[in-house]
Amino acid sequence: MTPSGIGPAARVLAQRECDAIADALECQPDVHAAVHRARKTIRRLRALLALLDNSALTTTTADAALRRLGNGLSALRDAHVVVETCERLAAAQPAQPWKEVCRRLKARREKLLARALAHDPGFARRQAALLRIGTDLLAQPWGLLKAADVRRGLARSERRTANAAKRAARSHDAEDLHRWRRRVRRLRMQLEALPLLAPSRAVPIKGHGRNKNKQARALHALSDQLGGQQDLRMVRNLVRVMPGLSERRALIEQIDADMRDRRVI
């Protein structure tokens, strides 16, 4: 694909992701699921921009704004995920007093949502910020994108993911594991974007094809496993300090056993 073909494809993808974020930020019947969807789409768009980091595009401002937008939704997303994780733990061990834990976590989730909507009714300020981001991205010189830009961006992401894996394997530190998870997730999203950037037979990405598809699937499985560990860790931290909770030790032991089952290094 010629450089002029890569640019329009990348522009269409960026616009599609902006539209998907805007759709998620509109008032939805299930606000929690919508916030979760918005966060995922923000990560996909940021992964695309990181892939094009060494190109003629200037996306630093848009990426920083997307990061702020995502961070502003992180507490809501985490509050929803710990409820889902708690419900899964409860289903695995119905005899444990998970019902009370889930009740408290749901109340916490609703309180955080109410507080967020009080500060930003209907997520209007977030939608205005997204409009500015979209305007900035549309003004970029997409026609100057080259295949080499994408190759360099992908190679950089692969190096960063490998380095994060080595660091996590050495330290087993929670923050290093979380960083590795983020690198894995971003690389997986970038690999999944390649067919959209180069859909013709004249694929400009070296190694793109069956091997890259297989790598993306493996990264998806690894990301899910690391993500599951992170979700369990959040629930554990909340259970550990939850006041007046019966059988706390048994609950934490169940969480720890689940985390051991998901350990990858």
Which domain CATH number covers 241? 1.40.20.10
Please state whether the predicted TM-score (pTM) of the whole model is above 0.75. Answer: yes
Residue-level pLDDT at 3? 46
Full domain range(s) for residue 65: 3-261
| Counted domains in the chain | 1
Output the CA torsion sign for 161, 167, 173, 175.
negative
Residue 27: how many CB atoms within 10 A of its CB?
10
Residue-level pLDDT at 202? 37
Distance from C-alpha of 10 to C-alpha of 33, rounded to nearest angstrom: 27
Chain segment 93-137, per-residue pLDDT in tens: 988 899 999 999 999 999 999 999 999 999 999 999 999 999 999
Residue-level pLDDT at 199? 59
Distance from C-alpha of 25 to C-alpha of 217, rounded to nearest angstrom: 29
Distance from C-alpha of 175 to C-alpha of 76, rounded to nearest angstrom: 20
Half-sphere exposure of 188 (CA within 13 A, CB side): 18
Which CA distances in Å does 161 have to 111, 153, 175, 230, 255? 36, 12, 14, 17, 27
